[in-house]
Amino acid sequence: MKNRAFLPFCRPAMHLALTALLSLAGTGLRAAEVNLALVATPSTSYVSPHETITALNDGFTPAHSDDKRHGAYGNWPRTGTQWVQYDWSQPIATRRIEVYWFDDRRGVRLPRACRLLYWNGTEFVPVPEAAGLGLEAGKFNVTTFPEIKTTRLRLEMEGQEKFSTGLLEWRVLDSGNSPNFPPRVTAGPDRVVVQPGRTYLEGVARDDGKVVPSPTVRWMKASGPGRVIFEKDTQAATTARFSAPGEYVLRFTAHDGAAESRDTLRVWAEPPPPAQALEWLPPQPYQITSPFWRPRLKALTLNWLPHCIAKIEDPATREGGLENFVQAANKLAGKPGARHIGPVFANAWVYNTLESICLALMVDPGNDADWRAGQERLRQTLEKWIPLILAAQEPDGYLHTQYTIENRKRWSNKHDHEGYLAGYFIGAALAHHRLTEGRDTRLYDAAKKLADCWVRHIGPPPKRPWYEGHQELEQTLARFAWYVDHVEGPGKGRPYFELARYLLDARDGGEEYDQSHVPVIRQYEAVGHAVRASYSYSAMADVAIATHDPDYLSAVQSLWHNLVHCKYYVTGGIGSGETSEGFGKNYSLPNASYCESCAGCGMVFFQHKMQRLWHQGRYADVMEDTLYNAVLGSVDLEAQNFTYTNPLDSSAARYKWHGCPCCVGNIPRTLFLLPTWMYTLGRDAVYVNLYAGSVVTLPHVAGAPLRLEQTTDYPWQGQVTLTVQPAARRTFAVHLRVPNRQTSLLYTNTPPCAEVLRVAVNGKPVKATVRDGYVSLRRAWQPGDRVELELPLPVQRIKADDRIVANRGRVALRRGPLIYNVESVDQNLESALAPATPLNAEWRPDLLGGVVVIKGTWANGAPLLAIPNYARLNRGGRSMVWMREP
Ligand code: FUB
Ligand code: ZN
């Protein structure tokens, strides 16, 4: 029936006779034509999370039906009838529309029928005598009809059986009787500018082209403490500098000869960071005594890594593993029959697991015999894997098993993860070199050979200009450059850093999806795929650390602000999943969130570097939240199962494996790097960013190694003892982080908590002044000096910014760094929690391996029990962060 209803509207595309009118360069439009779609508001029955409705009327002229350079509208995986619609603020008059269908030859195909409807003031009715309604790929399908006047047009499309539909562009041409529309203007995202740098302004003014063909634009200062110096205030794309620090509002105005529109953006002009960034602590042996972390790391060693190893070693694993290296080596040896298994990035879990093994072997398990035996098994794996992996490396250093097996043309498809895999390999090699204290150079040498291969080939002409679709090599090369300098002497790592920077600087003219839509230094809003974004921002922070380039400083600071203050989940997770595995708009944070585990890892890397750059605790605040919730919660308590996504409201159990196992090795490598996250180093200073019972030796503080022993039951209890063990008496500063539990402006906690209850040295209380999130103790330290610290751990109620629609009328709970969940196995989740109800923390050794729970009473009088978010969904049922308030 449905099909028949469509038939009258679906005729072969009409070929319009070309008029003598000139074409507007690149658009296919003729000079006198006005595309009213540009000033319409688009909507739809459904848009795929990884597509966008705004692609419909962005004025782009696609080159073919899968040309997604400017995004696409698609309704995958929905099938059947779907619609897209334009709304205008005043009635328009039209006789013609032009439609460019989207067809990716996969889930989205050309429709089998379409029809055009208009709003007659009461309802949508078919546009009479519509001729055309073509369904052809690779062109604008023109439909003409006697003039209609309306405020809304709707295009319905009927998909082919099993397939979804989509459009790249939909134009609506003015018949000459439409009114003039004022321009639609967008000033751009709010941002930070690090002084004395500039900000890149990219205002957008879209007009119907009436009165004058294009509007005149102007930038001006609306408010702010100093002068604003625009490079050219009459250009939409220009730059601005600021004479004094503070908050500014800039106004962008467009005038089309008759009507004017305006939009504003905010700029925070901030002072530059300290001249010297803090150093990182590379992987190295450590003891973990923390009652909280010890069982976690042990379970990863005894359960999770062996499980990953078994999957990777099993040639039947459909996602691919070690077998790909065997096959690539066969190919290199000229043996026939090699074939590649799994996605193009199938080497990733091998390398991440290899790195995790190396890191797991750096943990001193004390006298735990089981743990030691587990490490011994990991060591054997390492010895088995290394020769197999190295045999797959091509003679010139290139390493990517699918490329070798299939003789693919290198650096020809940015989505093939060549750099992503190279980066993960180099990271694993660095960890292995640290594990063996430089004695075994097999992987290190191979990593250099691989990096050198990239350095030889990739770069500005005469090398090959290139950027990678999935950033990872960028941040690893920056780390590797530092490490090579450290191992081989200053300057030896320089080419690797330069390549890292080049790979970032080369991004432009691509898509938001992989953060290549504009040059990275002009990116101020977190967009696209969240893992790629976090790796990209992390690598940008590396460049900022090494160069203090003002554009890089402004960009990373702006991205941090946008991420943390507009797109950040209270668990420290990122990526709502509203775009392909990526971000939605500001404040769009549905609780059925994506929050991929790899994106949590990327957040930790990014925050760590921002802390090194700015020496401020707020970055460690975010890092701690992400580590204790988003990342730690991605494996279950026994480390038998993991989860790819980390929604804040879910009934989905964790699982053993995934069709895209990118996170399986990334999670443990991030957790095993705990000492790296805990400490950052100044020349005569150490920053204590995290608290965990452990013994770690820092290679140099005030010119000599420094052993730090933390004794604490944090995060269950707030007392921390830090025993400082320099080899001999030395003067340096110990900066102790005082956590601020509400660094993100999206969330407000009651009671607030950003203080320290007590600081003492050798039993003597000292005055604790908190600056930039740290209490600083500078003195001549003797071996055995003891610092005591007491952090408050109140139960806090969290309210979300009202712009987060999903959490209106809801409340969440926190204690210390831990966010809490309520679970259906303990109570009815439809109940509400009244604002004044007392809440208490209680240690429950019998529950979930031993946790502090939060207890209270629901509004209906039933008992409330909340457990830490990381321990969620270990007992089945549903688990959620945000509870209803009455
Ligand atoms: O592309 C490699 C990884 O696969 C990404 O980081 C994940 O989001 C998944 O798409
Ligand atoms: Zn992942």
> Which of ligand 1's atoms lies nearest the C-alpha of 529?
8
Ligand 1 proximity of 345 Cβ (cutoff 6 Å): yes
> pLDDT tens digit string along 315-338?
999 999 999 999 999 999 999 988
Structure tokens at 524: 């101020």
Ramachandran angles phi, psi of 146, nearest 5°: -60, 150
- Taking the CA of 631 as reference, the closest ligand is 2
Give residue 525's pLDDT. 98
Instruction: Give 600 Cα–ligand 2 centroid separation in angstroms.
Output: 9
In sequence order, the 6+-apart residues with CB closer than 8 A to the CB of 731 are 684, 702, 778, 779, 780, 781
Q: pLDDT value at position 26?
A: 54
Report whether residue 664 contacts ligand 1, using a CB cutoff of 6 Å.
no
Q: Closest ligand to 581 CA?
A: 1
| pLDDT, position 32 | 61
660 CB within 6 A, ligand 1: yes
Ligand 1 centroid from CA 120, angstroms = 47
Q: 781: CA distance to ligand 1 center in Å?
A: 47
Ligand 1 centre distance from Cα of residue 680 (Å): 29
Q: Which atom of ligand 1 approaches the CA of 470 most closely?
A: 1
Alpha-helical regions (H) of 210-347: 293-299, 305-313, 322-332
Query: Do residues 95 and 147 lie in contact, with contact meaning Cβ atoms separated by under 8 Å?
Result: yes
Task: Return the amino acid letter for 445.
Answer: D
550-566 helix and 530-547 helix, angle to the nearest 10 degrees = 140
Long-range contacts of 867-870, Cβ-Cβ distance < 8 Å, separation of 24 or more: 867/820, 867/821, 867/822, 867/823, 867/826, 868/818, 868/819, 868/820, 868/821, 869/571, 869/629, 869/633, 869/818, 869/819, 869/820, 869/821, 870/628, 870/629, 870/632, 870/633, 870/818
Give the nearest ligand 1 atom to 532 CA. 6
Burial class (CB in 10 A: 0-12, 13-18, 19+), 637: middle
Residues 288, 298: Cα–Cα separation, whole Å = 10
Enumerate the β-bridge partners of residue 3: none
Q: 267: which 2 tokens?
A: 């700029």
Expressed in angstroms and rounded, the spacing between residue 535 Cα and the centre of ligand 2 is 12
pLDDT at 30: 58
For residues 336 and 703, what is the distance between their CA atoms, to the nearest angstrom?
Answer: 57
Cα separation of 12 and 17, whole Å?
15
Rounded distance between C-alpha atoms, residue 2 and residue 155, angstroms: 16
Q: Which segments in the chain show pLDDT lower than 70?
A: 1-32, 49-50
Are the CB atoms for 761 and 604 separated by under 8 Å? no
CA atoms of 497 and 477, how far apart (whole Å): 6
Say yes or no: CB of residue 810 within 6 Å of ligand 1. Answer: no
Residue 401 token pair: 């098993």
Query: Is the C-beta atom of 103 inside 6 A of ligand 1?
Result: no
Proximal ligand: closest to the CA of 424: 1
Instruction: Kindly list the distances between the CA atom of residue 590 and the CA atoms of 597, 807, 828, in Å, as whole numbers in the listed order.
Output: 17, 8, 21
Atom 3 of ligand 1, residue of closest alpha carbon = 662
754 close to ligand 1 (CB < 6 Angstrom): no
Return the ligand 1 atom nearest residue 581 CA.
8
Instruction: Return the exposure string of 250-289: e unless at least 16 CB atoms fall within 10 Å of the residue's CB, then b.
Output: bbbbbbbeebebbbbbbbbbbebbeeebbbbbbbbebbbb
Residue of 351, 574, 662, 670 best suited for mutating to test ligand 1, as the one with most atoms within 8 Å of CB: 662
**Cα 797 versus chain centre, distance:** 27
Q: What is the CA radius of gyration of the chain?
A: 29
Distance (Å, whole) CA 744 – CA 542: 23
